[in-house]
Structure 1
Amino acid sequence: MTHGLDWSLLQAFVAVMRSGSLSAAAQILRLTQPTVGRQIRTLEEQVGEALFDRTPQGLRPTDRAMALMEHAEQLEQAAQALSASITGKPESPTGTVRITTTEVFGIERLPALMQPFLLTHPGITIEVSIGMQVENLLRRDADIAIRFSRPEQPELIARQIGMMELGFFASEDYLARYGEPAGLDQIYGHLWVGFDRDSLGARAAERLKLDVAATRFAFKADSMLVQRNAIASGLGMGVLETRSASRVPGLRRLLVADFAPRTPVWLVAHADVRQGRRYRAVFDHLAAVLPAEFKD
């Protein structure tokens, strides 16, 4: 990279990395899309290689881009600190932070938990990726994750913030029609709601020592929210997270003494939270509010 690198090129690069497209970056920078495109091409020429793979889904950063992003963000933070020092007015952190979590928690609880934070941090934008698939924090598909297994990669920061309990649930309507199982040996005679094609279901069943092959599924979906609504509609029994299921009218928990597996809940982030002000601010906020959501 040349010593005469224009800071505006790095600003364009950072905007594209955060937004994922030239058009979105142009809106952030209040420039035209062709201008941002030229800036990225100029930066790639100075770096000596492509920084983005052009795919049908948009721009995907290369490994070189991921490495450059860390340095660019450090320069950005230094510029913000210099500006605050000159003006005497400390600036609030700005930028985008992407959080990945489960569908139910991301829909029902995360927006309310982030509301007071965003009121005091208007310069931060929160992006949420919901689903059961684990985002790759190392490639920065997400910045912060709420996970139910501890990551093994040393580059990630992990903090246990509570416990999650699972249980068998069925609707009152289903139980009125088919009866309530008196023990674990009777559950396989019932209709079930479970996962469709996602391998997570099979892995979870194996971990919970449930015989999926002996189970008769009446309804399958890879969405936990769809599963919960199917169970509430009386289509079959199923395994749900107990806190969220307890808030659904008409659901009854079954075999509490026989089946109550618990798993730790982890707040996980890329190591950049140590340097990035906005990452650290969001991480610290979640670390403060999540324990009440997952009390042991």
Structure 2
Amino acid sequence: MSEADRQPDWAELRALVAVMRHGSLSAAARHLGLTQPTLGRQIRALERRVGEALFDRLPSGLRPTQRALALFEPANALDEAAAKLAAALARPPDAATGTVRITASEGFAARVLAPILTGLAEAHPGIEIELSATNEVENLLRRDADIAVRHTRPAQQELIAQRLGTVEVGLFAARGYVARHGMPRDVRTLAGHRLIGPDKDPRGRQLAERWGLPMESLSFALRTDSLTAQEAAVRAGFGIGVMSVAEAEPGGELLRVFPETATAAFPIWLAAHADMRQSPRLRVVYDALVSTLRARFG
């Protein structure tokens, strides 16, 4: 047999994959849209090419030989690659597909972005989202992320940035905690309560100072930089901590502490690299975040 005759024939390999997936010539032929005799000829041609039988013909059907099993994995990989290639060739040139990496604070990513991204995934199944839920500010110019949701205005002038609204935060306690320990009357009595606060994040101290809370006299019973963990502890009745006002349902299980004084509003900025305009997938995600975040917080 010449070298040309030994080169793999895609139709024959596809026939092998189909028969091994579906278990019979008739089922494989229906899957490929071929007649059973045509598919049988392709299998026999492949057997001549490899020099041995690929299936044992049994009354119960076809049983793949060891050679067929060895050929299946690379042939199946080719079949899957061909399917992806066909989909890519059929896709419009401006289709929004590919990976988009978003960075946001842990709490914002969990509470706000996850529901938004669910709708986005339904509308644009070709887009894959990487969500970096971190309180660290990632560098967009260095391409640590494509899009960032931040609570301060980006300092890098090369970025596209829009302010979409504000999020209000305050001190809260669960009704169960208040029933057991009472509600602090003023800042002085706050020192006698179980407080939930930051570990190493300096923004917690900055917020307390902004509210006039005496950090030097306060003792935190639970320290964590995870805003999600802080909120969960407040809801569980562990103590008093900072939460987004929007997450505390009016008349629900959470009570506002010092609502007249312990309040602050943080801006919501959406930032992206300037070349976002030339990328359909980045533009789709950016525009979706603009519309949904502005509607909720604007």
1:236 is matched with: 239
Contact 1:93 1:123 in 2 (8 A): yes
The alpha-carbon distance between structure 1 residues 257 and 121, as it changes in their structure 2 partners (threshold 3 A), is same
Indicate the residue corresponding to 1:118 in structure 2.
Answer: 121
Q: CA deviation at 1:245?
A: 3.3
Q: Percent identity among equivalent residues?
A: 42
Asked if 1:281 is matched to 2:284, the reply is: yes
Aligned mates of 2:144, 2:91 — CA distance in 1: 35
Q: Secondary structure at the match of 1:161?
A: strand
Partner in structure 2 of residue 219 of structure 1: 222
Residue 89 and residue 150 in structure 1: after superposition, are their counterparts in 2 closer, same or farther (change >3 A)?
A: closer
Name the residue aligned to 2:170.
167
1:279 Cα shift? 1.2
Give, in whole Å, the separation in 2 of the partners of 1:184 and 1:272.
49
Q: Which of 144, 150, 153 pairs up with 1:150?
A: 153
Give the partner amino acid of 1:152.
A
Deviations 1:65-99 (A, max 9, x none): xxxxxxxxxxxxxxxxxx99xx8944412211111
Within 5 Å, which residues of 2 pair with 1:10-49? none
Superposition RMSD on alpha carbons, in Å?
Answer: 2.5
Contact 1:272 1:279 in 2 (8 A): no
* Deviation per residue, 1:159-185 (Å, 9 max, x gap): 011111011101112212221122334
**d(CA) in 1 for partners of 2:204, 2:297:** 22
Cα 1:206–1:158, aligned 2, differ >3 Å: closer, same or farther? farther
The gaps in structure 1 that reach 5 residues or longer are 1-29, 32-82
TM-score with structure 1 setting the length: 0.65
Amino acid corresponding to residue 274 of structure 2 in structure 1: A
Is it true that 1:192 corresponds to 2:195 in the alignment?
Answer: yes
C-alpha distance 106-189 of structure 1, shift in aligned 2 (>3 A): same
In structure 2, the residue matched to 1:109 is 112
Please state whether the residue corresponding to 2:191 is helix, strand or coil.
helix
- Radius of gyration: which is bigger? 2
Query: Is the contact between residue 191 and residue 215 of structure 1 (CA under 8 Å) also seen in structure 2?
Result: no
